[in-house]
């Protein structure tokens, strides 16, 4: 049994498809099949059912997956320790981040990090807040970056500079020229929002509750799983959304989106690491870069608060 065989087994177990696993591993399908067969021969047990072109884990295969993942995680940790002995001249750093952070915030920071430490290999996986926290907890990521709150005793949390939420509609929307919003206006608007579990959605709903407003009363017309889908749908006139100013910036600059008079305070992102796992020098160096003093955005004139209702006539 070799580490390479374990790596191939875990990939096939995750994909349940030889061809997709081979593509993920940058190997030929025949090499992947041979590796799995050699592992099964060395163990003396079948790890997969093979029915036609389909494969499925056997009971032994299911039981072996977490063990194989654990061995690979320990091997990666050992490699990280050895890499640290050579300073920051080599090594790797596995990151996971929520969608807004990975797509709009993290890239420039990783570019600066790569310029400083070109021999450190970086990988980034995108997930929502819940998925990122799970990856850090299970050792699949050295660091995670999320927008939402995380209550997980095994994870150490560090606040880092973030963004600000903005409320936007299409340029041609009837509310595009509004200078004020009432509670009635807010709850009459159809909203296009990110899915539950998204940090952006969580922060927006928390802000409503803090203002004494009930998020359940919103008219949520659509829930979409990506920032780009939300923005394009809103630009087409489907309603309003509340989203990161980093995401909305291009549409506001081009004039396809208009910002509503609904202010939000600047928000902090959260960096996650496992409290009990080895914290590599590469991870420490990235955190130092992120925490380096940067110009903070100006706070808007107003923040989310209970809008003053219009007088009844």
List the one residue out of 105, 108, 103 whose CA is nearest residue 125. Answer: 103
Q: Write the pLDDT tens digit of every residue in 172-181.
A: 999 998 888 8
Domain at 44, CATH number: 1.10.10.10
Please tell me whether residues 178 and 243 are part of one structural domain. Answer: yes
Please tell me whether residues 130 and 176 are part of one structural domain. Answer: no
- The number of distinct structural domains making up the chain is 3
User: Which pLDDT score is estimated for 79?
Assistant: 74
Please tell me whether residues 278 and 130 are part of one structural domain. Answer: yes
Please tell me whether residues 91 and 58 are part of one structural domain. Answer: no
User: In 3-state terms, what secondary structure has residue 193?
Assistant: strand
Q: Write the pLDDT tens digit of every residue in 198-215.
A: 888 888 998 899 889 999
Please tell me whether residues 242 and 286 are part of one structural domain. Answer: no
CA angle 195, 197, 13 (to 5 degrees): 100
| 303 confidence band (pLDDT: 50, 70, 90) | very low
Q: Which structural domain range is residue 242 located in?
A: 163-266
Please tell me whether residues 167 and 249 are part of one structural domain. Answer: yes
Q: Write the pLDDT tens digit of every residue in 213-258.
A: 999 999 999 999 889 999 999 999 999 999 999 999 999 999 999 9
* Spatial CB neighbours of 247, under 8 Å, sequence gap ≥ 6: 100, 103, 104, 227, 230, 231
CA pseudo-torsion sign 263, 308, 211, 202? negative
Q: Give this prediction's pTM.
A: 0.59
Please tell me whether residues 58 and 141 are part of one structural domain. Answer: no
Please tell me whether residues 157 and 169 are part of one structural domain. Answer: no
**Residue 138 belongs to some domain of the structure:** yes
């Amino acid at each position: 049994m070799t580490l390479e065989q374990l790596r191939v087994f875990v990939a096939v177990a995750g994909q349940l498809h030889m061809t997709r696993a081979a593509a993920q591993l940058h190997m030929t399908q025949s090499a992947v099949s041979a590796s799995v067969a050699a592992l099964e021969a060395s163990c003396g047990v079948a790890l997969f059912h093979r029915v036609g072109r389909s494969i499925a884990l056997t009971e032994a295969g299911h039981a072996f997956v977490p063990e194989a993942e654990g061995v690979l995680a320990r091997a990666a940790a050992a490699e990280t320790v050895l890499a640290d002995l050579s300073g920051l001249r080599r090594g790797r750093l596995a990151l996971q981040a929520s969608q807004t952070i990975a797509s709009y915030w993290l890239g420039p920071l990783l570019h600066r990090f790569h310029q400083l430490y070109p021999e450190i290999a970086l990988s980034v996986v995108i997930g929502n807040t819940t998925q990122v926290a799970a990856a850090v907890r299970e050792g699949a990521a050295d660091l995670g970056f999320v927008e939402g709150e995380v209550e997980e005793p095994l994870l150490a949390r560090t606040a880092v500079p973030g963004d600000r939420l903005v409320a936007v509609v299409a340029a041609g929307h009837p509310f595009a020229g509004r200078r004020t919003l009432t509670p009635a206006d807010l709850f009459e608007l159809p909203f296009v929002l990110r899915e539950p579990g998204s940090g952006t959605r969580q922060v927006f709903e928390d802000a409503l509750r803090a203002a004494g407003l009930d998020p359940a009363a919103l008219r949520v017309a659509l829930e979409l799983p990506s920032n780009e889908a939300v923005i394009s749908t809103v630009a087409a006139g489907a309603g309003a959304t509340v989203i990161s100013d980093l995401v909305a910036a291009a549409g506001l600059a081009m004039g396809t989106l208009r910002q509503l008079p609904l202010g939000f305070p600047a928000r902090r992102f959260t960096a996650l690491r496992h409290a009990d796992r080895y914290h590599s020098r590469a991870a420490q160096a990235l955190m130092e870069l992120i925490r380096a003093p940067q110009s903070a955005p100006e706070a808007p004139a107003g923040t989310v608060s209970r809008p003053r209702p219009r007088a009844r006539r």
